[in-house]
Structure 1
Amino acid sequence: MGNSSTTHSKKYSPSKSNIWLNCPLSTLLNDGSGEEISPQAEFGTQCHELSSALINKSLKLIDYENESKPVEELIKELDMYSPEMQEIADGYADFVVNTFEFEKTRSGEKPLIIIEQLLKMDFDEDAKGTLDCGIISSMNGGTLTVIDLKTGRIPVYTFDDETKMFNSQLGIYALYFYKAYKDLYPIKKVRLIVYQPVISNTNEYEMDIDDLLVFEAMVLRPAVIRTKEENPEANPGKHCRYCSANAVCSKRAEVNLEITQEMNKAFNLLTDKEIEEILPKLDEFIKYAEDLKKHVLKKAIDGHKWNGFKLVYGKGSRKIVNEDAVIKICKSLEIDPYVESKVAGITELTKRLGKERFNSLIAPHLEMQTGSLSLVPDEDPRKEAEIIKEGDK
């Protein structure tokens, strides 16, 4: 299927804006030239194609730039198509259509809607990206809505409570969607929406258009200027984990290795204050170590020899390669070659029964299991866990 890299900027991709807005050097190290497309990313790309076709069909939209194909024909071309992809695409299409109808009903007028539209940004000739869905209605003097479909399992939010900043990817899309149509449609309000069905995460953030224009003047354009300086500065942080150069950046290595110097005592001798100063840095240090190991292993597989190290295989497992022969042998010995059947998982049962029947018949027999405990900063949006000790019961 189509490669999304052809419709996205290499240096200034909106999806990677959290990196280059924070680290000027990243545009030199992270230009996308040698980046491989992961199966997860390709799944997302194909899911967006299917979703687009479903929305166009439901709303009878015409794509004048690309040749529209019937949904059934498109599905045959999607080499990663699966029931999960269909469920995600159906849910997202319904969400977009319902949002469109909601804006139409509350404004009393048919809104403008665009699906999978390429937006070019004026801060660099290479800057561009594809907006999943944009809607402009006349509500509240003009409301611009951006909806972004996420198919991954890492939670994505429209607003970061820690930085007190809205999602920069959606913000850039909203800004250039606004610029493309501001002469035709007045805009007063902006809504950013993330639709992430695989982890039941749908959230939104609303702001005035002035907030978006302040972001452009005070954050976006100054950040781009810093990336174009003769010796752009490196600024390590949480954003490094998404940078393709995260294992070879010397500044990131320098900052993370400083942690080992802070941990110059045995753990039980560190004071609470010392531990509290180290805690916020540990996750990034662990991620840096993992990224470095991944980089080292990849180079070794590609033929690089690391002094004092060698490649070995982990413990293998045996696998039956001819099931028919095994079944025949077992039956000849009057031995049952099959294992006992077990109840299908929740996702599979939902597919078989449909959401409505599953919720009415099966849901009463489900119980939410508590996840494992982890220590996070107070700014984390999740509710604090209540620990009940044995003596308190």
Structure 2
Amino acid sequence: MVATHAERPHALLSASAAHRWLACPPSARLCEQFPDTTSEYAAEGTLAHELAELKLRKALKLGNLNAREFNKRRKEIESHPLYSAEMDTYTDSYVDYVLGIVHSYRVPPYVTVEKQIDYSAYAPEGFGTGDCIVIGGETLHIIDLKYGKGVRVSGEGNPQMRLYALGALQEYGFLYPITEIHTAIVQPRLESISEETISVDELLAWGESIKPIAEMAYRGEGEFNAGEHCRFCRAKSVCRARSEQYLALEAFGQAKPPLITDSEVGEILRRAKALAEWVTDLEEYALQQCLAGNQIPGWKAVEGRGSRQYVDLDAAFKALIDAGIDEAVLYERKPLTVAQLEKVLGKAQYRQLLEEPGLVRKEPGKPTLVPESDKRPAITAKITAQEAFGGDER
């Protein structure tokens, strides 16, 4: 491991952002005008990837990783403020998935982890780092760990995975008789593994189809197009195309009939959901500008509501106990939730001690409205909206 994950360079047409620049080609160059900021969630994901890589290298005996070096690196990761015991559990799930593929072959397959992949034949100067590549028989496996838990990522038609597959095929295709591509996105915190299997011919045809779009993106040409792909765009807060899309809600006010149709309800909800996200992005941008000393007409940054913290918790409680306060008053005792216990016990012991004996039950969730693209099956006439959201019938 020469460079840490955070230190690695990134391409203009990165595979991880392909869903954006393929849908909105000029966004690739537009993002260059904004700093590449990171978040605690991203830093946590980076740490999880380093831990997963370390575990895989040890399990598969990759590189010159001896026990001393493994333990040293492991302690460094565990000392990181963002490390947690659950990170160990979740990265184990990813490692288990990879090992399951590796051990499914009678003859040991070729395996490499954190491999830099060049797909510049399809996207100018395009390169990225694949989490894990396995080549066994006639199948090329591309496996990606996603540690986030906010959005479930589909592996079907996923451009990031396909770009990695194109680069890997170009590098290894003359060495191995590859005829099939199998990609997998492993999201252990969402208990999700999304896979796709396509032929080499299908992959190559897709690669040729995106070439013109990638060329436009590299030159900063093409039409701006707002949509779900704006989520991780650096320009999303002040992008004019995005603002015009959401401000177009005003057009619904021109409708002649006194009642809007169900079709209009669906369209307004679709736009309003994205509008709420855009407003949040605008607020974050405006706050940053005000804190930097710039003016956003009609707005200013102020100090929010503060909170009180113990200077020294032990000293504070000792003072209370010495003053005659009953120690039992100072603590709140409550049982761990089922989810918290599962993390403490681990999935196997949790199932053995609680789930299998029937000591826990899964309650159905309340009905919730989601886009039609959501993978969960639709429900109808299960309960009324009144029962779901509360309130007295009149």
Partner of 1:162: none
Structure 2 residue 202 is matched with structure 1 residue 211:
yes
Which aligned pairs between 1:98-177 and structure 2 lie closer than 5 A?
98-102=100-104, 104=105, 108-123=106-121, 126-138=125-137, 142-153=138-149, 154-159=151-156, 166-177=157-168
State the 1:67 CA deviation. 10
State the 1:255 CA deviation. 1.9
CA deviation vs aligned residue, 1:71-128 (integer Å, no higher than 9, x gap)? 32112222232212211222211221111101x1xxx322111111011222456421
What CA distance in whole angstroms lies between the structure 2 residues aligned with 1:71 and 1:369? 43
Q: 1:345 and 1:114, CA in 2 relative to 1: closer, same or farther beyond 3 A?
A: same
Q: Supply the AA of the counterpart residue of 1:174.
A: A
Q: Supply the AA of the counterpart residue of 1:128.
A: F
The percentage of counterpart residues that share the same residue type is 30
Q: 1:266 and 1:326, CA in 2 relative to 1: closer, same or farther beyond 3 A?
A: farther
Partner of 2:98: 96
Q: 1:241 and 1:354, CA in 2 relative to 1: closer, same or farther beyond 3 A?
A: closer
CA deviation vs aligned residue, 1:256-275 (integer Å, no higher than 9, x gap)? 21122324569973233332
Partner residue of 1:85 out of 78, 81, 87: 87
What CA distance in whole angstroms lies between the structure 2 residues aligned with 1:144 and 1:68? 30
Which aligned pairs between 1:315-326 and structure 2 lie closer than 5 A?
315-326=305-316
**3-state SS of the aligned residue for 1:145?**
strand
TM-score by length of 1: 0.87
Q: 1:257 and 1:133, CA in 2 relative to 1: closer, same or farther beyond 3 A?
A: same
State the 1:284 CA deviation. 2.0
State the 1:184 CA deviation. 0.4
Q: Supply the AA of the counterpart residue of 2:16.
A: S
Q: Supply the AA of the counterpart residue of 2:368.
A: S
What CA distance in whole angstroms lies between the structure 2 residues aligned with 1:11 and 1:333? 64
Partner residue of 2:350 out of 347, 358, 368: 358
RMSD: 2.7
Partner residue of 2:299 out of 286, 292, 309: 309
Structure 2 unmatched runs, 5+ = 388-394
Which aligned pairs between 1:120-269 and structure 2 lie closer than 5 A?
120-123=118-121, 126-138=125-137, 142-153=138-149, 154-159=151-156, 166-219=157-210, 221-229=211-219, 231-264=221-254, 269=259
State the 1:169 CA deviation. 0.7
Q: 1:48 and 1:5, CA in 2 relative to 1: closer, same or farther beyond 3 A?
A: closer
Q: 1:67 and 1:244, CA in 2 relative to 1: closer, same or farther beyond 3 A?
A: farther
CA contact (8 A) 1:112 1:137 kept: yes
What CA distance in whole angstroms lies between the structure 2 residues aligned with 1:32 and 1:43? 26
CA contact (8 A) 1:136 1:144 kept: yes
Structure 1 unmatched runs, 5+ = 160-165
CA contact (8 A) 2:89 2:346 kept: no
**3-state SS of the aligned residue for 1:362?**
helix
State the 1:228 CA deviation. 3.8
CA contact (8 A) 1:158 1:203 kept: yes
Structure 2 residue 48 is matched with structure 1 residue 47:
yes
Which aligned pairs between 1:256-335 and structure 2 lie closer than 5 A?
256-264=246-254, 269-335=259-325
Q: 1:5 and 1:214, CA in 2 relative to 1: closer, same or farther beyond 3 A?
A: farther
Aligned residues: 376
State the 1:145 CA deviation. 1.0
State the 1:295 CA deviation. 1.0
**3-state SS of the aligned residue for 1:365?**
coil
Partner residue of 1:342 out of 334, 344, 355: 334
TM-score by length of 2: 0.87
Partner of 2:31: 30
